[in-house]
Structure 1
Amino acid sequence: MCTRVVWPAANGAVIVGRNMDFHKDLMTNLWMQPRGITRNDGVNGDLTWTSRYGSVVATAFDLISVDGMNEAGLAGHILWLAESDYGAPDSSRTQLSQAAWLQYFLDNFSSVAEAVDWIEKSGVQVVQMDDPTGGNPPAIHLALDDAKGDSCIIEYSSGQPVVYHSREYRVMTNSPTYDQQLALARTFSGLGGEQPLPGSTQASDRFARASYYVSRLSQPASQIEAIAAMFSVMRNAAQPFRIPDPGKPDASQTLWQVVMDLTQRRYVFESTTRPNIVWVNFDELDFSSSSPQAKLNLVNDLTLENGIAGNVSSHFQQGEDLKLLTLDMMKQGH
C-alpha cells in the first residue's frame, strides 16, 4: 500500500512521485495552507506552533495530512507500515498525533536536515489514533525529501524514532522495515544481485522495481518530460483495480498518484477513480500570513464531464479551515 520515489537529478530538478494505495476511497482533497496558522500536537496540546512556511497538502477525509509540499521545497509522504510500534503514549515526551505528524514538518522546516536534527533533539513520539471510518488504527511511516535532493525515512520501533537519512534512499514502500527492504532489493538483478526483477504488487517487489527504473531514467529535456518520466515509474509500481484475493478483503488499489517538482514547485495530482490530471503552481499561490486557508474540492470537482483539469492554482476556494483530527475530536465521536 503506497510507493514513494525520488529522482534527485532530473536535469537540475528534484522530482518526487508517490502512489496512494488503499482499500477504500479516502475522499482526498487538496488544501492551501498559508503561513501564520497556529496549531497544536493533536494529543494534549502541549506542543504548539505557528506555521513558518505555507504548503499544499493532500488529506484523508479532510482530517489527516497524508502528502504535501511546502513553499521551501520540503515534501512529505505518509505510507503504511504494519510493523510500526509507537509505544505507550508518554506525556513527558514531545508528542505529535499521526494526523499532525506530516503537517508539523511542512509548517516548520525548509530541509530534510533541519527536520532530522529536530527529531534527534526532541525524541518526538508519534501517538497512534483511531481510524476515523472505524477501521484498524493507522500504522504508518513518513518519508521526507527536499529541493536539494536529500531524503529520509522515519519509522517507529519500540516507541522510538528510527531515522534513515541519505540522498541514496530514493524509494520507500511498506513492509518490511526499511533496513530489510534495502537488503532485499540488493538480491535482484540490476540492484546488486542475480534474481530477476520481480513483478508482483507486494511491497518488496514494488520497492525493487521502483529502485531499478528510477535509476535508469534518461535526462529530461523539460519539466514536462521529467514529470511524465516519473509518472511512468509510479504507474509501474501501481496496484490495479481487482477483486480481492481469498482471505484479503482489504486488498488495496492505487487511488491516486502525485508527481511534484520540488525545485520549480509544481504539484501534479492524478486520480485513478476520477481520471483528470490537475496541477498547482506554487508561484501562483499567496502563502502570506494574511491569506486565508483554501480548499480544492477534488471529491466533487474532479470529474470527466465539466470538471476541473490542468492548472487549478486559481480554483482553491476560501471559506473553511483544515481541522486535523485530534484525540479530543475522537473522544467526542467525530
Structure 2
Amino acid sequence: MCTRVMRSVPGEPIVVGRNMDYHCDTGTNLWVLPRGVDRTDGVGGSLAWTAKYGSLIASGYDLMSVDGLNEAGLAGHILWLTESDYGTYDAARPALSMAVWLQYFLDTCATVAEAVAWIEATDVQVVPLADPGTGRVPAVHLALDDATGDSAIVEYLDGKARVWHDRGYAVMTNSPPYGEQLELVKRFAGLGGADVLPGTTLAADRFARATYYGERLPPAASPVDAVAGMFSVIRNAAQPFRIPEDGKPEVSQTIWQTVTDLTNLRYVFASTTRPNVIWVDLGSADLAEGASARRLDLVSGGDFVGNVTTEFVDSAPMQFLTLAS
C-alpha cells in the first residue's frame, strides 16, 4: 500500500512524507552508502555503474532500497501498485532488478529531470523479484522528488515505463494507476467536486485526503515546522493496526513513516511500533569514496532517539537481491 506526499512552497524547505504500509515486517534498517561504490543491475545484464552520489536509504530485509535520499537532494519512494506490468524480461533491453531500481537513481542522478531523461533515453526495464519476507513477487511503482521541487511518478504498464513528470504531482498512493487517480480526486469538495472528503483507508480515499490536507498546511516558520506539518498529513493517511478481514487475510497497516527535508538533507524516521522519532543529517555523514558503508540496526530494537547521524556502525557493503539469488 503506502502514501507519499510532497510540499514545495517558496521560502520554505521542500519536504516529502511517506507511509510504509505492509501486512508484515519488512526488516527495515537505515544505511549510509558512500559514493564511489561499483554496482550492477542485479539481472546479469550489461548495466553497471559507479555511485556518483552518496545516499541514505531505508532497506527492505537489508536486500533492497525502498526509500531514500542522496547528497544532491534527490529522494525516491517505492510504493505498491497492483496493476504494474513489467513485461517479459528482455535481455536486449537495459534492465534493473526491482531491488536496485531506486538505488540506481540515488547513485547516479542529482535531479528528477535527469532521472526522467535517462528512463526515456534507455527504455529501461524493471525486473520483479520475490519478496524475501513472503516469497511473493511485489508490484510497485516509484516516486522521485528533488530539492528544486520537481516530482515524477514512474509506473510500468504493459511492459513499458509511463512517467508522470510535473511539479504539481505531489501525492501518490496505490491503485488505480496515476492518471486515473488524478481524475478520481476531482470528485471531492475542495478539489473540484462536491462529494464529501472520504475517510476510508482505500488508496483513492487516501489520495484525496493527502491532496486536500497537503494543500492546506499553514506556512512553516522553520524546518522543524515543515517536518511537523508533513507528519500531520501522512498520519491522516495512515492505516491503523487491525485484525484481518474476510477476504483480506493480509490487510496492510502503516509500519513506519518518513519525512525527508530535501532542502536541508534531513531524513526523519518514525516506527509505528516504537515511541521515538529519529533523524539523520545526511550532510554530516561520511559519504566519501572509500568510506565504509554504515548501518543503523533498527530490527534488533535499539533504543534510538533524536539525531542518530553518529550512531551508524561500519558494515560490509549492502548486498542487493539479484535475479540469480
| TM-score of Structure 1 vs Structure 2, range by shorter chain | over 0.9
Alignment of 1:312 with 2:308, yes or no, is yes
Shift of 1:131: 1.8
Q: Is the 8 A contact 1:81 1:175 kept in 2?
A: yes
How do 1:36-115 residues align onto structure 2 when only pairs under 5 Å count?
36-115=36-115
Q: Is the 8 A contact 1:10 1:219 kept in 2?
A: no
Q: Gapped runs of 5+ residues in structure 1?
A: 330-334
Q: Is the 8 A contact 2:45 2:94 kept in 1?
A: no
1:324 aligns with 320
> What one-letter code is carried by the residue in structure 2 that aligns with 1:210?
A
The runs of at least 4 consecutive aligned structure 1 residues that moved more than 6 Å come to none
TM-score (norm 1): 0.96
Q: Distance in 1 between matches of 2:137 and 2:270?
A: 27
Q: Distance in 2 between matches of 1:163 and 1:253?
A: 28
Q: Is the 8 A contact 2:12 2:223 kept in 1?
A: no
Shift of 1:43: 0.3
SS in 2 for 1:191: coil
Q: Is the 8 A contact 2:141 2:156 kept in 1?
A: yes
Shift of 1:10: 6.5
Q: Is the 8 A contact 1:11 1:219 kept in 2?
A: no
> What one-letter code is carried by the residue in structure 2 that aligns with 1:323?
Q
Shift of 1:308: 1.1
> What one-letter code is carried by the residue in structure 1 that aligns with 2:307?
N
Q: Is the 8 A contact 1:11 1:221 kept in 2?
A: no
Q: Which segment is superposed worse, 219-228 or 169-178?
A: 219-228
Q: Distance in 1 between matches of 2:159 and 2:315?
A: 39
Alignment of 1:158 with 2:158, yes or no, is yes
Identity of aligned residues (%): 57
1:273 aligns with 273
- Equivalent pairs, count: 325
Q: Distance in 2 between matches of 1:316 and 1:130?
A: 28
Q: Distance in 1 between matches of 2:283 and 2:72?
A: 11
Q: Distance in 2 between matches of 1:200 and 1:142?
A: 23
Alignment of 1:245 with 2:245, yes or no, is yes
> What one-letter code is carried by the residue in structure 1 that aligns with 2:316?
E
Shift of 1:282: 1.3
TM-score (norm 2): 0.98
SS in 2 for 1:43: coil
Cα deviation 1:232-262 (Å, max 9, x = unaligned)? 0010000000111111011000000000100
